[in-house]
Structure 1
Amino acid sequence: MSRITRLRTIRITERPNLIWVEVETDEGLTGLGESFRGAQAVEAVLHEQVAPLLIGRDARRIEAVSRQLMTPYLGFHSASAEVRAASAVDIALWDLAGQRHGIPVHEALGGAVRNEIRAYNTCAGYAYNTQGAARRDIGAADVAAGPYDDQVAFMRDAGALAESLLSEGYAAMKIWPFDIYAPATGGHMISLEDLKAGLEPFRKIRAAVGTRIEVMAELHSLWGTQAAIRICRALEDYGVFWAEDPIGKMDDVQALADLRRQTRTPICGSETLGGTVPFRTLLAADAIDVVMLDLAWCGGLTEARKIAALAEAHAKPLAPHDCTGPVTLMAGLHLALHAPTAIFQEVVRATLATWYRDLVTGLPVLKGGLVQAPEAPGLGTALRPEVRQRADAVIRESGG
């Protein structure tokens, strides 16, 4: 038996959305998990609801723990605080499983289908998505904080940004120039003038590099169906790889299916969904072309591989999300290496080059735009010891 003896959470005020979970066992092992958004709410769920169920349990019974934590009386089939807490614990249990047997998580899942996977760069900046909601508006006064401040770059000269990414081996990029136009109408309309302005970065990319780079359009669930149809139809001229999260609620099956029938632009969704049921429903309705999921929001690796199996059964490609934290990125990479229909692992080169490195001991290795398979046991990363010693660290423990 591998008995769980302690659950520890760590937050830092500098990154208020992030929370890490460490699960300790009587073997002397520590598994690491992570979730994002509403960190204080997730912390409360973990210590008040999850810890009493978890302490004393056998850490090897990952499926049994997952089923219990993913079926709360309230908060199921969503990315609720309950499901985000369950996701963090599940990632930590898979980390423990790999460490226990001396193998990487992708091997523990049943083995890798591939030894490397193509990365695409989400064109965010160094501080994107760290202090509450992601910033949408980039104005004339904004100055790039460094060479990888890619959100500023795509709003200023997306063609030069595409050339920069190609020079580093990236063959795909994701941008969101339409976001700034949604607030004026609550996302229910986009004018021809705003539509043309939003298309300008895509025009510049094609003018600069032609078809040498794939481009994804992120729509951040900001639009009503009619406006989303107008945007997606306009994007057809630029050969975008997908339009991601185009409507306000990505579990609205009828609206998504209606949108998909009216455009040739492939529809991707959604990092915002939790559990297998919403994905099953979307796939059954033929409402999406690409399955995106976030390991820290959907239920962890246990639920994610079931979603990946649904994608495979419907012959749909899979692309794990990362624009949140380094542990989620590592978990997503292990799934992407294992899942048969996975085609991309999302990365943010700005965070890989800076603050992700300050938090964890190991990060994905990219060679020529391809993310390499980790070889270390478990996830292949751990929190740096100095994170716990920070003056702004908030640490809580249950058990022990």
Structure 2
Amino acid sequence: MNNEWVRIKYLNFYSVHVRAKTEWKFMEFISDDGLSGISEITDTQLQSSVSKIIAKLSNKLRDEKISSEENLIEMIPQEEFANTDLNYATAISGIRSAFLDLYSKRLQVSLSEYLAIKNKSLKQKKEIIRLYANINRSMLPDDNGPVDRSPDAFNRKAKEFEKKGFNTIKCAPFDECNSPFNRKDIIPEEAKIGLERISAISENLEKDTNLFVDCHSRFDLNSSYFLHDELKDRNVKWFEEPVDPEKNKEDMKKINSYSIIPTAGAEMVYGTKTFMGLIEEEIIDIVMPDVKFCGGPTEIINLDQRLEDSNKISMHCPSGPVSLLTSAQITSSINSKLPLEHAVDEVDWRHELLLPYEKINDGKFVLPNGNGVGASLNLEIINKKGKLWQE
């Protein structure tokens, strides 16, 4: 492996309009002999585009002989900024991910095979990846404006994907909430519609289907205690980010200590060290690395090797098909048995954005055959719904 190298010649960016304000964005390295490496750099949650940062950093890599990811990082001293700047975290995560797609193609192995070799603690590589259905993106405004967010609409969407084979459903029902709240002695009034949505789902799911809830950091310490008890009564199995676990560590630690429901979060954290700190300090039970922000696949492999309990990782993935494909390759190569997130029903052409098409059967992601991530961007769809550019 150590004798192989790549030389990056070109850098392309792509974007496609999805719905309302959402765009999926991607980057691509092309080597001097025509190999391609792709990654997703969707930056909906950021205040500015990361493509300019990626272009600036990638100029240091162009035409250099790069023989490993470590070699690549040495060429980007700005990597240290990623711990404190989400724009840099996204840019560097994208660069590292695209490089590994390219490099594993050079080695003529899939990304999951490459990562499995790197992961000395891996017991058995997975070929089919169990997903959970995050219905939240489908409940956000589309190109025609707001959609039905009634409790019945949440229930219908959850049942639709339960019938499609997903045995875990996740919803984000509290987007109307925003702490602090007027009263401190009861569940916030603003949360009641969210609880009605959860009840509508919980009361209609089959007994062996799990319900996860993402709170989008809409609460504070006091209201989280009341919220926890309401979720417990509704048989919720996952308590995600009532507060931001990185920005509000002490509050989240108290909530975690109180909660009998597993807590999860840290979706915008960069680097193995920070994830380990959140687990070792008992801030949250389960960390959710997002390949777009966390530093790329290697950071998750490093985390898996350091954990005594492998079921502390469940990747965050509410984005496009390149993000899910890369996350599935990573999930294949770690020991965690927890399912991978999939944002369902955002647009009906999603699967066509990759060649070969994204394949999900009965709530499971089927890894494509092929080297690297195993798929390429479908330029016909991008030309129809988006654009290509260079910087």
Q: 1:334 aligns with which of 329, 332, 354?
A: 329
Superposed, 1:163-242 pairs within 5 Å as 163-182=159-178, 185=181, 191=187, 193-242=189-238
AA in 2 matched with 1:113: K
Aligned-pair CA distance for 1:183: 6.3
- Structure 1 gap segments, 5+ residues each: 132-136, 144-151
1:56 partner SS = coil
2:58 and 2:184 mapped to 1: Cα distance? 43
Matches of 1:336 and 1:328 in 2, distance apart?
Answer: 12
CA contact (8 A) 1:84 1:297 kept: yes
Look up the equivalent residue of 1:345 and give its one-letter code.
L
> Per-residue displacement from partner, 1:179-223 (whole Å, max 9, x unpaired)?
213268499897454444322233233322352210001011222
SS at match of 1:320: coil
CA RMSD of aligned residues (A): 3.0
The residue aligned with 2:38 is 32
State which of 7, 10, 13 in structure 2 corresponds to 1:6.
Answer: 10
Percent identical? 20
Deviations for 1:252-276, whole angstroms, at most 9, x for unmatched residues?
Answer: 3222111111221211012121222
Q: 2:116 aligns with which of 95, 106, 110?
A: 110
Q: Aligned residue for 1:378?
A: 372
Whichever residue aligns with residue 51 of structure 2, its letter is: E
Deviation of the 1:67 alpha carbon: 5.6
Deviation at 1:74, TM superposition (A): 6.2
Alignment of 1:10-89 (within 5 A): 10-12=14-16, 17-37=23-43, 38=46, 41-48=49-56, 50-66=57-73, 69=76, 72=78, 75-78=81-84, 80-89=86-95
- Cα separation, partners in 2 of 1:98 and 1:63, compared to 1, 3 Å: same
Q: Decide which moves more: 99-108 or 359-368.
A: 359-368
User: Which deviates the most, 33-42 or 113-122?
Assistant: 33-42
- Structure 2 counterparts to residues 317-332 of structure 1, below 5 A: 317-332=312-327
CA–CA distance in structure 2, aligned partners of residues 276 and 158 of structure 1:
35
* Equivalent residue runs for 1:284-295 within 5 Å: 284-295=280-291
Specify the SS of the correspondent of 2:6.
coil
8 A Cα contact 2:351 2:358, kept in partner: no
- 5 Å-filtered alignment, 1:307-326, equals 307-310=303-306, 312-326=307-321
Query: Does structure 1 conserve the Cα–Cα contact (< 8 Å) formed by 2:214 and 2:239?
Result: yes
Which aligned runs of 4 or more in structure 1 are off by greater than 6 angstroms? 186-190
1:328 deviates by 0.8
| CA drift at 1:339 | 0.6
Question: Cα distance 1:113–1:189, how it changes in 2: closer, same or farther (>3 A)?
Answer: farther
Pair 179,13 (structure 1): closer, same or farther in 2 beyond 3 Å: closer
Q: 1:371-392, CA deviations, whole angstroms, 9 ceiling, x for partnerless residues?
A: 2233221112211123564585
What amino acid is aligned across from residue 58 of structure 2 in structure 1? A
Match 2:390 to one of 378, 381, 396: 396
Paired position in structure 1 for 2:120? none
Gaps of 5+ in 2: 118-123
d(CA) in 2 for partners of 1:84, 1:44: 12
Contact 2:356 2:368 in 1 (8 A): no
TM-superposed CA distance for 1:172, in Å, is 0.4
Q: For the residues of structure 2 that align with 1:83 and 1:364, how far apart are their CA atoms?
A: 26
Q: Specify the alignment match of 1:146 in structure 2.
A: none
Closer/same/farther in 2, CA of residues 230 and 372 from structure 1, 3 Å limit: same
- In 1, the alpha carbon distance for the partners of 2:247 and 2:264 equals 12
CA contact (8 A) 1:182 1:190 kept: no
Query: How far does residue 165 in structure 1 lie from its aligned partner after superposition?
Result: 2.3
Shift of 1:56: 2.2
Deviation at 1:129, TM superposition (A): 8.4
DSSP-derived class of the 1:199 partner: helix
Q: Which segment is superposed worse, 202-211 or 87-96?
A: 202-211
Instruction: Give SS of 2:365's match.
Output: strand
The structural deviation recorded for 1:79 is 5.9
Amino acid at match of 1:250: E
Residues of 2 paired with 1:122 and 1:288: CA distance?
Answer: 20
Measured after TM superposition, the shift of residue 316 of structure 1 is 3.7
Structure 2 contact 116–334 (Cα < 8 Å) conserved: no
Matched, 1:122 2:129: no
When the two structures are aligned, how many residues end up with a matched partner?
Answer: 376
Specify whether residues 75 and 348 from structure 1 end up closer, same or farther in structure 2 by C-alpha distance, changes over 3 A only: same
